[in-house]
């Protein structure tokens, strides 16, 4: 555990006692802070009290009089669509609001590890896990935390030879009061979490903050969208400024440092000269164009950390993939079953659909804003759709007349029907293009159910 510095003898309130919140409370106490905690759930409050924490409702009269900072968990709204009452109470009391990411950077000493922070709409989990894998395979002491794996303050104290890879959501980048990464990575941007940021502009602003206020030594930026191009331009000082590494799945020209993946070939170019290239088409853990973009971002970050091309290529080829992200769970009679339950929005599902041919597509769930129109150009490889979710009928209709769709409602029916229909050479793909909360607690549970149903096939 990393003891939080700077609050010795001071009162600190922690709001939300999930994984990151409870870890933050422990780390604050380890650093000498006087910690009070609160969670809207009674069970979480009882568990914290059993660890000796003082449980106090921060919205009560005078509850924050002896508090200097309120540390909130990322899932708790702090501005849109409406601030949590405890956040409002902190504003009224003049108490600063922060999160565990801000506490982490605040607590780094002189012998601090290198930090790589990775954000974006899609691919940030895979990019983070892939970079961590590349580093460890190359013999570097690397640690994975943040929005993936462990809470960042749950890591053990580290030194200058260590590297911390942090996946950061927009909720985390928006609120952290201290952000000082050595390398910052922006994968891409597509509409998501718009209710928490009052629209696309607020969403991008939350991501951009990692760069604008973080001041990284190097910025790895996906430039396949205008927001990425804007951000790269904001970060550079001159056309050949190699503090910015541009990443793309298309053609990039110019004098700067860039890593691209066109037609499955990764290429690194610097100062107009190609330095390295890798054929990604036969890398099993990174199928499809979207994963090739992730590979480019991880390659660029690893190069910025001083790794050589051969070590990085070895890491790419040995990468096993993440659960629920283009995860190959079985092959039966020439039919491959792929779990991409993490494809919770239209853009992620579109990327998954482009990674395979002749697809038996399991989709549906709780639709997000914007509808399914952006999916229509990517449905040509779908042989048939098997729709799940409480609103499966409406979802199937939204796919349009060009897609043959069967309303299955539940996962068991969808897997059974897709497996029955599938022919050798086809892929049964779970890429829902929707959130899971109408039927599952989270996308992991949905993906686990898919894998279990596939394993139970006769």
The set of catalytic residues is 124, 147, 193
CA distance 350 to 378: 6
- Residue 202 assigned to a binding site: no
- Residue 178 assigned to a binding site: no
H or E stretch including 258? strand 257-262
Peptide bond into 81 cis (omega under 30): yes
- Residue 123 assigned to a binding site: yes
Q: What is the DSSP letter of 401?
A: T
**Is there a contact between 17 and 49 (Cβ–Cβ < 8 Å)?**
no
- Residue 271 assigned to a binding site: no
Residue with tokens 């040995």: 318
In this structure, the number of other CB atoms found within 10 A of the CB of residue 420 comes to: 9
CA distance 173 to 161: 25
Sheet of strand 382-388, all strands in order from the earlier edge strand to the far edge: 327-332, 335-339, 427-430, 359-363, 382-388, 405-409
Token pair for residue 42? 């009674």
In this structure, the number of other CB atoms found within 10 A of the CB of residue 396 comes to: 21
- Residue 124 assigned to a binding site: yes
Q: What is the DSSP letter of 4?
A: P
Token pair for residue 19? 């994984």
H or E stretch including 385? strand 382-388
**Among 329, 372, 330, which Cα is nearest to 349's?**
372
- Residue 222 assigned to a binding site: no
CA distance 216 to 393: 47
Q: In 3-state terms, what secondary structure has residue 346?
A: helix
- Residue 122 assigned to a binding site: yes
CA distance 358 to 398: 21
Helix 288-304 vs helix 124-137: angle between axes, to the nearest 10 degrees?
A: 50
CA distance 26 to 214: 26
Burial category of 156 from C-beta neighbours within 10 Å (exposed 0-12, middle 13-18, buried 19 and up) = exposed
Residue 427's DSSP bridge partners are 336, 359
Show binding-site residues for ATP: 120-126
Show binding-site residues: 120-126
């Amino acid at each position: 555990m990393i003891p939080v510095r700077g609050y010795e003898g001071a009162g600190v309130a922690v709001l939300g006692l999930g994984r990151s919140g409870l870890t933050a409370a422990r780390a604050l106490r380890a650093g000498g802070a006087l910690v009070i905690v609160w969670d809207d759930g009674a069970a979480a409050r009882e568990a914290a009290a059993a660890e000796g924490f003082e449980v106090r409702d921060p919205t009560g009269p005078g509850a924050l009089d002896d508090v200097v900072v309120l540390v909130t968990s990322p899932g708790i709204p702090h501005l849109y669509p409406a601030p949590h009452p405890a956040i409002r109470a902190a504003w009224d009391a003049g108490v600063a609001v922060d999160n565990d990411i801000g506490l982490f950077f605040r607590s780094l000493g002189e012998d601090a590890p290198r930090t790589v922070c990775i954000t974006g709409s899609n691919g940030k989990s895979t990019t983070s896990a892939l970079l961590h894998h590349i580093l460890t395979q190359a013999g570097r002491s690397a640690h994975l935390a943040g929005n993936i794996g462990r809470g960042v303050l749950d890591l053990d104290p580290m030194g200058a030879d260590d590297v911390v890879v942090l996946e950061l959501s927009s909720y985390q980048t928006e609120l952290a009061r201290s952000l000082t990464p050595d390398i910052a990575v922006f994968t891409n941007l597509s509409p998501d979490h718009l209710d928490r940021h009052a629209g696309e502009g607020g969403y991008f602003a939350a991501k951009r903050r990692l760069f604008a206020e973080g001041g990284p030594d190097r910025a790895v930026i996906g430039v396949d969208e205008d927001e990425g191009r804007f951000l790269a331009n904001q970060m550079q000082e001159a056309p050949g400024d190699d503090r910015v590494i541009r990443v793309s799945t298309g053609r990039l020209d110019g004098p700067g440092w860039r890593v691209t993946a066109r037609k499955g070939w990764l290429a690194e170019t610097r100062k107009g000269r190609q330095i390295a290239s890798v054929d990604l088409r036969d890398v099993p853990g990174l199928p499809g164009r979207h994963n090739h973009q992730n590979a480019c971002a991880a390659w660029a970050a690893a190069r910025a950390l001083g790794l050589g091309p051969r070590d990085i290529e070895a890491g790419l080829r040995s990468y096993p993939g993440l659960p629920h992200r283009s995860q190959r769970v079985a092959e039966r009679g020439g039919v491959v079953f792929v779990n991409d339950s993490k494809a919770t929005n239209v853009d992620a599902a579109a990327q998954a659909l482009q990674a395979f041919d002749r697809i038996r597509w399991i989709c549906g769930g709780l639709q997000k804003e914007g509808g399914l129109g952006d999916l229509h150009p990517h449905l040509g490889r779908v042989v048939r759709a098997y729709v799940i979710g409480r609103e499966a009928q409406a979802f199937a209709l939204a796919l349009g007349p060009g897609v043959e769709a069967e309303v299955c409602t539940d996962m068991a029916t969808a897997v059974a029907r897709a497996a029955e229909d599938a022919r050798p050479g086809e892929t049964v793909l779970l890429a829902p293009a929707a959130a899971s909360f109408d039927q599952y607690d989270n996308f992991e549970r949905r993906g686990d159910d898919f894998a279990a149903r596939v394993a139970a096939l006769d």
